A = this chain, B = another copy of it.
Amino acid sequence: MSTLTIEALRSGLVESVHAVSVAVVDTEGTLVAQAGDPGRFTWWRSAAKPFQALPLVQDGAADHYGFGPRELALACGSNSSEPMHRALAASMLRACGCEEHQLACGPHPPLSLAVADEALRAGVVITPRWSNCSGKHAGMLALARHHGWATQGYERAGHPVQERALTEVLRWTSQSRDAVRLGVDGCTAVCFALSLRAMATSYARFGISTEPAARRLREAMVAHPEMVAGTGRPCTDIMTAARGAVVVKVGADGIYCAALPALGLGVALKVEDGDGRCSPPALLSVLRQVAERRGLSLPLPGLGHHEAPVQRTTRGEPVGELRATGALRFH
């Protein structure tokens, strides 16, 4: 079995080890490369967001409420709760006549440590519009409003909003309803369990799709990577560096998905232990290995701190780093 591992070093010795499962597939779902268990069945978490956002565009809600690329990128993203993110989520809610208390997502410390610290220092009460999923939830409320569906319970399995998302998940992954499991995500909305291979298939397709809704979402993510994550975060930095050559989306618990449109390939990976510090170096290792093997020029400059994050003492001295080791097996 081919393995991809993230090693955490301290003073030159490997201290902790993280196994990574990877599926790289084409638009037919054929495995092109793999590591660990490419069939790993797990929760897609926030890497499903582009597909959860598709009905918003397809059904005309985005146009109806005037959502442009920035709003669509926020709907596909896991944002850092920076002022620009909070303001945009609030304006999406206003546009569809909803209020913050209708958001089902709960409050949590912002994913950006700087934003979290600042909020605490300022004595701010963190409310649902600070959720990293604010864009997804505002989009779901807009979809419900547009169709005249009840907004109450929009996040739960069985609600038409979630049925629409499920339809898109099944369509893009070519999975039968029985093959996908529904659960509850951290933000209380439905999440989906399926194989890495199925996740990767949807990204391969999403990367080159000519369907207008998919194209709008993809172009929105590429044009506004700052709305997909936030200042200094991997999704934002990778898409900024790639200048359209990749579309990437992280998920909680060690999930990362990507599309490589120039190759017609999709990537899905899971850090088996769920460590979110390890999924960015794992993804960057996979992207570089695939690009090299296929002769694709993919410079991705300025991402060293995401590829090999430095570990420091409490005095700020470097004491080690995370590093990816191991090679994908290509078919």
Q: How many copies does the complex hold?
A: 2
How many Å lie between the Cα of A12 and that of B182 in the bound state?
Answer: 10
Q: Is residue A10 contacting chain B, with contact meaning CB distance below 8 A?
A: yes
Interface positions of A from 121 to 135, Cβ below 8 Å from B: 121, 123, 131
Per-residue B-contact encoding for A1-29, CB less than 8 Å = 1, 0 else: 00000001011110111100000000000
B120 touching A186, Cβ below 8 Å: no
Q: How many residues of A contact B (CB 8 A)?
A: 45
Contact with B along A176-191 (1 / 0, CB 8 A): 0000011111111001
Q: Contacts A186-B313, A314-B187, A314-B188 known; A10 to B43 CB distance under 8 Å?
A: yes
CA gap between A154 and B170 in the complex, in Å = 61
Whether A319 sits at the interface, judged by CB under 8 Å, is yes
Contact between chains at A185 and B120 (CB < 8 Å): no
Judge whether A211 is part of the interface by a CB distance below 8 angstroms. Answer: no
A115 to B128, CA, bound (A): 23
Whether A16 pairs with B253 at a CB distance below 8 angstroms is yes
* A59 interface residue per 8 A CB criterion: no
For A188, A191, A313, the residue with the greatest tally of chain B CB atoms inside 10 Å of its CB is A313
**Knowing A10-B43, A11-B183 touch, does A106 contact B188 (C-beta < 8 A)?**
no
Does A105 have its Cβ within 8 Å of any Cβ on chain B? Answer: yes
